[in-house]
Structure 1
Amino acid sequence: MPKQRNSARRHLELKRRIWWFKIGVPVALRSHFGGKTHYRESLQTSDMRVAMERRDQVERDIRSRFRDIAAGKVISPATMSARERGTVWREALADLKATDDHSQLDFAMGLAEDESDRLRGNERKEFEDAFTGKVPVDEHVEAYLKAIGLADKTTGERRGLVRRFARWCDKEALKLPDINRRAVGRYVTAIIEPMDRRTAKKHMTALRGYWDYLTLRGHVEGKVMDGKAVDSPWLGQTLPDNKRRVERGDRNSGERAFAEQELQTLLYGDYPQEVGTEFRQQIEDALRISCLSGMRLAEVVTLWVEEAHDDVFDIQQGKTRSAARKVPIHPDLKGIVERRTKDKKPKDWLFQELAGERDPGDTFGKRFNRYRKALKVDDVRDGKRRSAVNFHSARRWFITQARHAGHAKETIKDIVGHVPGEKDITFGTYTKGASEEQNRACVEAVKLPKRA
């Protein structure tokens, strides 16, 4: 008669007075577990009754994981590069360090070392570099950008700024673990200090944010308090004070709103054939919407049909925390909205012809600039790369007209989605914003210029 299995101690193993969970790994799944024939996990107790309870939960979890792997829901390490596997191990060990589970940490370290020992040549070097964090500075930039979820234009801008720092680091032969306060200080002195203050601020914001992400995810060493990195090498790095003397003619040298004659030309001028007549309606509609709502380019061209309802543009996402807002639909825009929502589904775009573009805002912006330049609406100043007028000038024009109509700046801020000033406690903290009537009165006070 065969010996009956002791179900009470099923999958239990006693090691140094601590109970462990142990289960055989199916042959087809062993590549996911570093080639190990058995999976072990400390149950962190010497009490058998407690161990049995914990074993049952761990067994459910691991069997569920086996099923997910078999169904292809988990990526096999066999399909990952040595560098990717090194990164996965580094992140896993960072998570274990945060739990202070030394037995699990030791076990995982052993598995990582076993995997490294099985590799040879360049693969082993790639694994160990990734495992120790000796990777290029922009190694994790795409994961960072995905995590913060900014608008496409801002995402592209931050990607470029982080990669600019990474290129400098490559020239200096610096890897991610080499970046300390001294290295950052050299970069600030050489690259950021000569910049215009506004450009420098964007650069610093992108790099500080990226470093906070790296610290929180364990890719770089650093202290974290209340979910924030508190010893980043970027903290305390001062911005350049590049305020220069204002000379005659300099006062209005920055980007600006459209002048009335410029807007008349854009709205009513003869359409330039070289731009492409298929874009005419798109340009005319987007320009009018921005002029009569103050909406940003990306907000205009990515609006869903269901976000234009009950006489408001119900914007759900955007550049800042104040971007989600309701903007009254100006009476002069109702025809455009009706035409662009007719026979469309709720999740279709008002500008559905742009839905297939990789970056619809950038694509439309380039078309509008060709249109603007063809009509000779341009204002390039000495020493400036960009024209002082662009599509954003329509938003500036709306703000200017609303201000000239006598409406409160707080109401205008609510409509255009500007963040209240940090020092503006009364309006930034204690109010819910302008009323619907105030917003509608402000929007309807703005009128497009008439034909010349």
Structure 2
Amino acid sequence: MAGKSKRGGERHLWLQGNVFWYRQQIPKAVHAIIGGPQFVRVNLRTADVIEAKRRRDELESQTRIQFRHIQMGRRTTLELPGWKPTQAPTRAPRGPAEWGCLWREALADAHASGDAEAIEQVRDLAADEAERYGKDDAKRHAFNDAFKGREEVDHHLEAYLSTVGLAPKTTGERRGLVGKMARWAASKGLTLDRIDRRQAGKYVTEEIDPLHPVTQTKHLTALRQYWLYLARRGHIDLPAGEDRNSGWPWDGQKTEKRGKRVERGSKVEEERAFTDDEVRKLLYAPWPMRKPDWESQIRDATTISLLTGMRLAEVLTLWVDDVDGDWFDIKEGKTEAAARRVPIHEDLKAIVKRRTEGKASTDWLFHELRAERDAGDTFGKRFKRFREAVGVDDRRAGVRRSLVNFHSARRWFTTKARHAGHPKETIAEIVGHKPDKSDVTFSVYAKGASEGQLKACVGDVKLPNSL
């Protein structure tokens, strides 16, 4: 990983070394015209995040205006202070379908800006472009089809994924789920403009209903979010009365929960916490793999999660600077509640000392994973192989995934803390769960557990004895 913003949500900001950079992807429609690099990268020449944001806002305003002018044919180059694009490659003349896509994207940007004059101007220029093809019906149809959105369902998928800032694993999932829907549509001869509520319902019935409920929700979420992007950018035309923020046509598409015959004493199988015997195997069993350098990262990460309840991504991306005396200071995470301070268990101090010694404040505790493109995915695959090799697995008929995984360490911590008699509110604060909004006393009036309560809760969780 080349660089990392200490506050990962900072739009278009990239901290490399001690200097902020502005980094923005050039829209496909603009890149098709100007060529050159696919990203704008400008050194902001400041380490101050406030000043970086100010300079970012100036550049973002300039790029937005220039992108629109390029798409509308008013200019052919992008000029920004401190940015030197490479020479644009030579290319063959654009065909009518490509011009149709470019003008549709220009119209979408005009809609997004809310500029009525710009919208009318783009429509007039697009009409002039269509007239250029005269009596050539094939070319005129190709242009009009592209301009009216008769595109493949996943035509805008990469542009969408580049704007939402999802984690690499989630990005891959979204790409796969939307891609599956695109293949289904192509097999039915459906283009993007023909996907309405009726076709969406058919897809849900044929492809989503048979899936596991968790996968159903994930699949519908991916489609709804993609269509929200399409609507907001003007890539699809909504029926009269539909809101651009509704997620049409996927809003209200309830999936069928396919039940199974339930026998007395049976229950739906869900992912679970590790048992103490499984924890012993994970921590103390002889190393079973051919990669001895993996042992330290896997055993250490597992131990940290077992004794803090931290999520996989939180453990792997800990900085040396996140170790604050006897506390892990987690500054960001999956939810708002994920930013928290977690006591460092007595049994973790040797690991923390070993992994912080001699490192700079911005180094990772798990430095061996920093060079990986997706540290979480890489580690997850290694942990799965290790877990299965030491005999920790729980496969059930009809369930795709094992009922135990790295998250089972987090469940184990929560279970042990509960068995030690600590209140659920204290445990939730340690593991980074949102407070229960229905519980006014604890979510509104109470201001959280004391440091002593947090330390006592973590300290009462004990690892099982060795094998």
User: Normalising TM by the smaller chain, what interval?
Assistant: 0.7 to 0.9
Q: Tell me whether 222-231 or 418-427 shows the greater mean CA deviation.
A: 222-231
Alignment of 1:34-73 (within 5 A): 68=79, 72=84
Once the 2 structures are TM-superposed, how far is the Cα of residue 434 of structure 1 from its aligned partner?
Answer: 3.4
The one-character-per-residue Cα deviations of 1:171-227 (angstroms, maximum 9, x if unpaired) are: 111111111000011111112222232221222222222212221121222389999
Structure 1 residue 171 corresponds to structure 2 residue 201: no
1:294 corresponds to which of 295, 304, 309? 309
Q: Tell me whether 298-307 or 248-257 shows the greater mean CA deviation.
A: 248-257
Contact 1:96–1:104 under 8 Å retained in 2: yes
Alignment of 1:14-413 (within 5 A): 68=79, 72=84, 86-97=100-111, 101-113=115-127, 129-222=145-238, 229-230=245-246, 232-247=248-263, 250-251=266-267, 253-272=269-288, 274-413=289-428
Once the 2 structures are TM-superposed, how far is the Cα of residue 341 of structure 1 from its aligned partner?
Answer: 1.9
Q: TM-score, normalized by length of structure 1?
A: 0.75
Contact 1:403–1:409 under 8 Å retained in 2: yes
1:419 corresponds to which of 409, 421, 434? 434
Q: Tell me whether 260-269 or 203-212 shows the greater mean CA deviation.
A: 203-212
Once the 2 structures are TM-superposed, how far is the Cα of residue 290 of structure 1 from its aligned partner?
Answer: 0.8
- C-alpha change, 1:68 and 1:406, in structure 2 (3 Å) is same
Contact 1:369–1:390 under 8 Å retained in 2: yes
- How many percent identity over aligned positions? 51
The one-character-per-residue Cα deviations of 1:327-380 (angstroms, maximum 9, x if unpaired) are: 222222122122212222333221111112122111111111111111112221
Contact 1:405–1:446 under 8 Å retained in 2: yes
Size of the aligned set, in residue pairs, is 395
Q: Which runs of 5+ in 2 are unaligned?
A: 1-32, 35-64
* Cα distance in 2, alignment partners of residues 226 and 317 from structure 1: 35
Aligned partner of 2:169: which letter? Answer: K
Once the 2 structures are TM-superposed, how far is the Cα of residue 307 of structure 1 from its aligned partner?
Answer: 2.2
* Cα distance in 1, alignment partners of residues 435 and 98 from structure 2: 43
Q: Which runs of 5+ in 1 are unaligned?
A: 1-30, 33-57
* Cα distance in 1, alignment partners of residues 143 and 90 from structure 2: 13
- C-alpha change, 1:99 and 1:252, in structure 2 (3 Å) is closer
Aligned partner of 1:204: which letter? Answer: L
Once the 2 structures are TM-superposed, how far is the Cα of residue 424 of structure 1 from its aligned partner?
Answer: 4.7
Q: TM-score, normalized by length of structure 2?
A: 0.73
Aligned partner of 2:421: which letter? Answer: G
* Cα distance in 2, alignment partners of residues 405 and 289 from structure 1: 19
Contact 2:152–2:191 under 8 Å retained in 1: yes
* Partner SS, residue 292 of structure 1: helix
Contact 2:304–2:348 under 8 Å retained in 1: yes
Alignment of 1:422-437 (within 5 A): 423-424=438-439, 426-428=441-443, 432-437=447-452
Aligned partner of 2:394: which letter? Answer: D
Once the 2 structures are TM-superposed, how far is the Cα of residue 100 of structure 1 from its aligned partner?
Answer: 6.0
Contact 1:77–1:85 under 8 Å retained in 2: no
* Partner SS, residue 308 of structure 2: coil
* Partner SS, residue 230 of structure 2: helix
* Cα distance in 2, alignment partners of residues 280 and 97 from structure 1: 54
Structure possessing the higher radius of gyration over alpha carbons: 1
- C-alpha change, 1:285 and 1:102, in structure 2 (3 Å) is closer
Aligned partner of 1:313: which letter? Answer: F
The one-character-per-residue Cα deviations of 1:28-72 (angstroms, maximum 9, x if unpaired) are: xxx76xxxxxxxxxxxxxxxxxxxxxxxxx99x999997717964
Aligned partner of 1:295: which letter? Answer: M
